[in-house]
């Protein structure tokens, strides 16, 4: 199976014009195969992008990209559940190849028996879980960012035997946790219901430091992410050899077309992964990390 590049959904609260322009450039210039769109972190943000969603999907599809719709990570209220049911039922309106990517167990239940994808926020740690998902209609599973190489190899082998694609995130801050509370609002002395959308002030997330002032994590509304930027460019040849056939880039507030071009070159064997990591590390205001893959602390960078 030919390996492909996936661009995950924008996780941050960008102005809608910036969001629309970002996807227009991705459509025209980025060498990615699949683009996942949708607001998955905070239900309150979703209405801002709803009007532009159809235009974005049409633009991406016209450029030859396969478009998937992402479901929210955490669904609480009845209003949110109703919106998710509508979203899950909307895949019939997607262009050919379009799927819904489930990011919580509620979406998985609604998608049972239909072809769908599984996002990296759903825990898939063993072959039994992968088999259960395949039996319910999953055709691709994006593995959690915290898995070490040995586990990825086992799951990639199982995925091949089950006939489903396995995906690994190779760029972008790693999603670690989601909460019903909004850390961003709390940090500004606000309640979640009256957050004033302060998360929009941090297009790459809000840095969190320890008591000693050391960078620790990144907060994105209700989401906790890694401080460092996950980069597995140097590990991609090993991942391909394991049987991983999908590679995910998570958008950051930077030139993502350049990122996509660099990872495509590694995937095609035209560039060295370590060289690409060194180049891209100079473009983002965060250290590059790959510790999870190497079975150590995720915040570390292993040569």
Annotated binding site: 42, 182, 195, 199
Q: Within a 13 Å sphere around the CA of 283, how many CA atoms are in the beta-carbon half?
A: 17
Residue 173, beta-bridge partner list: 229
Contact in structure between 146 and 139 (CB atoms under 8 Å): no
Tell me the binding residues for [4Fe-4S] cluster.
42, 182, 195, 199
Q: What is the Cα gyration radius of the chain?
A: 18
Contact in structure between 257 and 8 (CB atoms under 8 Å): no
DSSP per-residue letters across 31-52: --SEEEES--S-GGGHHHHHHH
In order of 4, 60, 282, the CA distances from 205 in angstroms are: 27, 26, 18
Residue 67, beta-bridge partner list: 35
Exposed, middle or buried: residue 6 (CB in 10 Å: 0-12, 13-18, 19+)?
A: buried
DSSP per-residue letters across 164-196: -EEEEEEEEEEEEEE-SS-HHHHHTT--GGG-T
* CA–CA distance, 123 with 191 (Å, rounded to integer): 29
3-state secondary structure of 302: coil
Q: Which of 58, 64, 68, 54 is nearest to 32 (CA)?
A: 64
Kindly give the pairing relationship between strand 223-231 and strand 288-289. Answer: parallel
Q: Which residues of 128-143 are buried (b: 16+ CB within 10 A; e: fewer)?
A: ebbbebbeebbbbbbb
Kindly give the pairing relationship between strand 223-231 and strand 215-220. Answer: antiparallel
């Amino acid at each position: 199976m030919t390996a492909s590049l996936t661009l995950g959904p924008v996780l941050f609260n960008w102005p809608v014009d910036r969001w629309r322009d970002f996807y227009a450039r991705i459509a025209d210039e980025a060498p990615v195969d699949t683009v996942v769109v949708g607001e998955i972190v905070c239900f309150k943000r979703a209405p801002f992008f709803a009007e532009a969603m159809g235009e974005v999907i049409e633009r991406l599809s016209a450029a030859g990209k396969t478009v998937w719709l992402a479901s929210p990570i955490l669904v609480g209220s009845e209003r949110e559940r109703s919106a998710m049911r509508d979203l899950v039922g909307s895949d019939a309106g997607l262009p050919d190849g379009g799927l819904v990517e489930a990011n919580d167990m509620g979406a998985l239940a609604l998608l049972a028996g239909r072809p769908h994808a599984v996002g990296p926020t759903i825990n898939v740690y063993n072959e039994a879980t992968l088999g259960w998902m395949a039996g319910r209609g999953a055709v691709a599973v994006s593995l959690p960012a915290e898995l070490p190489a040995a586990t990825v190899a086992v799951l990639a082998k199982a995925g091949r035997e089950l006939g489903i694609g396995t995906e690994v995130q190779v760029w972008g801050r790693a999603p670690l946790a989601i909460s019903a509370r909004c850390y961003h609002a709390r940090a500004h002395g606000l309640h979640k219901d009256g957050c004033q959308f302060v998360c929009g002030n941090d297009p790459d997330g809000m840095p969190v430091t320890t008591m000693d002032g050391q960078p620790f994590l990144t907060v994105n509304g209700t989401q906790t992410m890694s401080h460092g930027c996950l980069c597995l460019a140097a590990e991609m040849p090993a991942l391909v050899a394991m049987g991983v056939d999908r590679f995910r880039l998570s958008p950051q507030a930077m030139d993502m077309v350049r990122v996509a071009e660099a990872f495509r070159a590694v995937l095609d064997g035209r560039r060295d992964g370590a060289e690409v990591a060194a180049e891209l590390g100079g473009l983002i205001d965060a250290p590059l990390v790959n510790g999870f893959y190497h079975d150590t602390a995720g915040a570390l960078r292993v040569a």
